[in-house]
Amino acid sequence: MQKSDNVTFVFIIIILLLIVIIGFMIYQLVLARKEKNDAKKSFYELEMKVNDLQLETLEAKLNPHLFKNILNSIQSHAYQTYFAMDKLANVLDYILYESKKKHVTAKEEIDFALNLIEINKIKISPLFELKIKTKINSDEKLYEQPLLAPLISIDLIENAFKHADLQSSDAFISVLFEFKDNVFSMTVSNKISNKKVLKKERSGIGNATLEHRLRIIYKNNFKLEKFIENDIYIAHLKINLLEYKTEMLASR
């Protein structure tokens, strides 16, 4: 009987030790997971700060560059100054107020782009073909939700006006804005000018920053294609705002 009691006591001690060891291991696992999550959160916050800093640097270069281009357009055709100044006022309001926001709505960005195109129109010949189309499903829930980076349309539009022969009767620029299935897209195409584009100091800021901004903000939720087909330069930008919003919510 004494021997049986000793065996039972030893067995209980072993069970208790196993419970303590398992409990300690679970505690260490929970602690390690918490530390991992905290580290992941800290890394994400640091990444966001770096991205915000990069975007601020890019936008600081972008806005003065855009403003200079607009003033040059107006100066070259003074007889249309009144009309251009009206559009310029809308563009400046957007740059001064909306562009400071992290996101704007697709509606706001498209309205801004249309005003920018109107300003650039004063540079072109009356015979020049400029086609602007919009295919918008304004009933979609994300159309008027702030999910689009401001000034995202500038580079594609300015590039078209820069490289097209604006005084040629057989040249053209075509701009299409679309919003369908919560996806924003724009397609800009132009017949390439045979004239050599005069390269200016510090030109090409938009080209250098657009894809950089898209990668920082949208990561894998965008597609930017640029190619030439039969002397026609085509640029297509597509941003899936639904997937982007889903990832934003999941990262919080």
Residue 20 domain-assigned (yes or no): no
> Largest Cα–Cα distance of the chain, in whole Å?
115
131: containing domain: 37-250
> Is position 24 within any domain?
no
Whether residue 215 lies inside any domain: the answer is: yes
In a domain? residue 11: no
Residue 102 lies in a domain: yes
Q: Is residue 21 part of a domain?
A: no
Residue 167, domain member (yes or no): yes
Say if residues 132 and 188 touch (Cβ distance below 8 Å). Answer: no
Distance between CA atoms of residues 98 and 105, nearest Å: 10
Please work out, in degrees rounded to the nearest 5, the angle formed at the alpha carbon of residue 214 by the alpha carbons of 42 and 69.
125
What's the pLDDT score for residue 99?
77
**pLDDT single digits (tens) 136-160:** 999 999 999 999 999 999 999 988 9
Domain containing 81 — which CATH number? 3.30.565.10
- Number of domains comprising the chain: 1
Q: Three-state SS for 150?
A: coil
Element containing residue 225 per DSSP (H, E): strand 222-229
List the single range of 70-84, 152-166, 183-197, 227-241 with lowest mean pLDDT.
70-84
The answer to the question of residue 12 being in a domain is no
Q: Give yes or no for a contact between 240 and 222, defined as CB atoms under 8 angstroms apart.
A: yes
pTM confidence score: 0.68
